[in-house]
Amino acid sequence: MAGEEKGEPRLTGWQLVAYGQLVVPLAVIGLPVAVYIPPFYSSTLGLDLAAVGLILMLARISDVITDPLIGRLSDRTRTRFGRRRPWVLAGVPVMMASALMLFVPPGEVSNLYLLTWIAAIYLGYTLITIPYGAWGAELSGDYRERNRITGSREMFLLVGLLIAISAPIAGAYWSGAPADEGAAGRAAVGVLGWLTAIMLPVCALIAFSSVPEPKFHETQSIPFRRGLRVAMKNGPFRIVLLSSIFGALAGSINIGVVIFFFEHVAEIGQAGTILIFVLFVAGVLGSPFWVWLGGRIGKHRAIAVAGFASMFVFALVPLVIYMVKPSAPELVLPCLVFINIVQGLALGAAPILGPSIMADVVDLDTIKSGEQRAAFMFAFLGMVRKTFEAMGVGIALPILAWAGFNAQSRENSPEALLALLAMYCLVPLVLWLISIAIILRYPITKERQARLRSALERRIERRSELRRLMAD
C-alpha cells in the first residue's frame, strides 16, 4: 500500500485498477442475464414467456441458500492466500462453463436446460461477488477511501456494461445474422459467453497478483441465528436493507421487460440497444461526480439526489408514448435518448456509494457482534436483493402473458401494451421513489463513521494486547 490517510492504508492507482477491473467480465455476463435471456429463450429459442419468467425466479431464489452460506464460509476461511481470494478462484471455472452453456446453447433447449444453467451461473456469480465485495470493504476503513475503492469498481462495472451492450451488436454484424434477429439472436448472444470465458481468468489473475488481502484480526465467532438477530438490530443496516428491497424489485421489473418495451411499445426496433448503450456511457461520465458529491454531502444524500433526478425524467416516458409518438413518431427516439442520458448521468451513484455505505454498516456490525463478518453482511443483503429481483421478473413476465402480450407477434392489444408500459415504467417508478425516501433516513455520517472506526481500532488493539499477554 502506498501512503497513509489518517492512519488508514491508501491504495495505489494501480491497485485500484487491479481490484476494480475484475468486475468487467461479471458485468459482461450479469446484465445480459437480465436483459437478453428473456427475449433470447422466448423469442429466439421458442420457450414459453411465462415459463421463462418463473424459471428465472426459481433460479434466483436458489441464492437465498447460497449467498449467506458462501458469505459465512468466506468469513471463516483461513488460508495463506487469504479468506476471500480462494472463493473467488473457485467461482471462476463455474462462471466460465455456465456462461458458455447458457449463451451458446445447442440447437434444441428445454425449460430444464435453462433452469440448470441459469442456476449454475448464479452460483458462480455468488462464489465470486460475495467474497469480492467483502474484500473491497476490508481494504480500508476510511470514509473517503472507501468511496475511491467502490468508485473504481463501479467505473469498471460500467465499462463492462458498455461491452455487454455493444458486443452483441458487433457479434450479429460480424456473423452476418439477419437484421431482424437483433441483439437477442444466437450470434449476438453467443459472443457474450465467449467473452466471459476468456476475460474472467485473466482479470482474476490481475487482481490476485496485485491486491493483497488486509491482515485478519481474530475475533469471537457467534452462531448464525444470533448473528442474524444482531444484524437485524443494526438500524442503519435495516434502512439499507429496506431501501434495497424496493430498489431491487423496481430494477428487476424494469430491466426484465426493457427489450420488449423498445420493440413493441416505443417501436424503435434495434435502436433500443443504442439507448442502453447511451445510458451506460453517460453512467461512466457521471460516476466521478457522485464520488465527489458523496464525500461532500454524505453518501446517502448523494444517492437521493441522483435518484430524484433520474425519476423526474423517467416520469416523462408515458408522455413520450401517448403524446409525442402519435403526432411525431420521429421524435420518440430523440426524447428517449435525452431521458436515458439524464438517467445515465445519475446511474453511478447507487452502485458506487451503496457498497461504500455497506462497508460503514459492517464496521457497526463488527462492534455490535464482536465478529468480522463482512462477507456475511454483504451476502445477506445480496440474498434479500436477489429474492426480490427474482420476484420482480417472476411477476412481470407472467403478468404480461396474462395480459395477452406475445413476444413473437407484432400485433398486440392496447391492453397488453399498456401492461408492458406499466411494467417498464409506472410500477418501477413508484418503487424507486419509495426506495429513495427510505435511504434518506440513513444515519451514518462521515463524522459518525470516524468515531466507529476509532472505537473498532481500540477494540482490535485491546484484543491484540490481551493475546500478547496470554502468550507471555
The CATH number linked to 31 is 1.20.1250.20
Rounded to two decimals, what is the model's pTM?
0.70
Q: Please tell me the predicted confidence (pLDDT) of residue 6.
A: 45
Considering the domain boundaries, does residue 216 fall inside one? no
User: CA–CA separation, 193 vs 30, rounded Å?
Assistant: 11
User: CA–CA separation, 131 vs 165, rounded Å?
Assistant: 26
Considering the domain boundaries, does residue 458 fall inside one? yes
Cα 268 to the chain's mean position, in Å? 27
Could you report the per-residue pLDDT of 419-463, keeping only the tens digit for each?
A: 999 999 999 999 999 999 999 999 887 788 778 778 777 776 666
User: CA–CA separation, 193 vs 29, rounded Å?
Assistant: 7
Decide if 260 contacts 401 (C-beta within 8 A). Answer: no
CB burial of residue 147 (10 Å; 0-12, 13-18, 19+): buried
Q: Please tell me the predicted confidence (pLDDT) of residue 2.
A: 37
Decide if 56 contacts 49 (C-beta within 8 A). Answer: no
Considering the domain boundaries, does residue 4 fall inside one? no
Which residue do the cell numbers 459467453 mark? 193
User: CA–CA separation, 353 vs 243, rounded Å?
Assistant: 14
User: CA–CA separation, 12 vs 272, rounded Å?
Assistant: 39
Closest CA to 368 of 218, 217, 226, 215: 226
Q: Which domain holds residue 42?
A: 16-211+224-467
Considering the domain boundaries, does residue 9 fall inside one? no
Rounded to 5 degrees, what are φ and ψ at 104? Answer: -125, 65
Task: Give the chain's residues under pLDDT 70.
Answer: 1-9, 143, 171-173, 175-185, 215-225, 227, 460-472
User: CA–CA separation, 143 vs 363, rounded Å?
Assistant: 11
User: CA–CA separation, 56 vs 34, rounded Å?
Assistant: 9
Considering the domain boundaries, does residue 257 fall inside one? yes
Considering the domain boundaries, does residue 91 fall inside one? yes
Considering the domain boundaries, does residue 268 fall inside one? yes
Alpha carbon dihedral 262, 266, 269, 272, in 10-degree steps, equals -40
Considering the domain boundaries, does residue 472 fall inside one? no
| Joined grid coordinates for residue 191 | 459472443
- If one counts the domains in the chain, the total is 1
Q: Please tell me the predicted confidence (pLDDT) of residue 343.
A: 93
Q: Which residues contact 196 (CB under 8 A, 6 or more apart)?
A: 25, 28, 29, 95, 96, 99, 100, 103
Q: Please tell me the predicted confidence (pLDDT) of residue 9.
A: 59
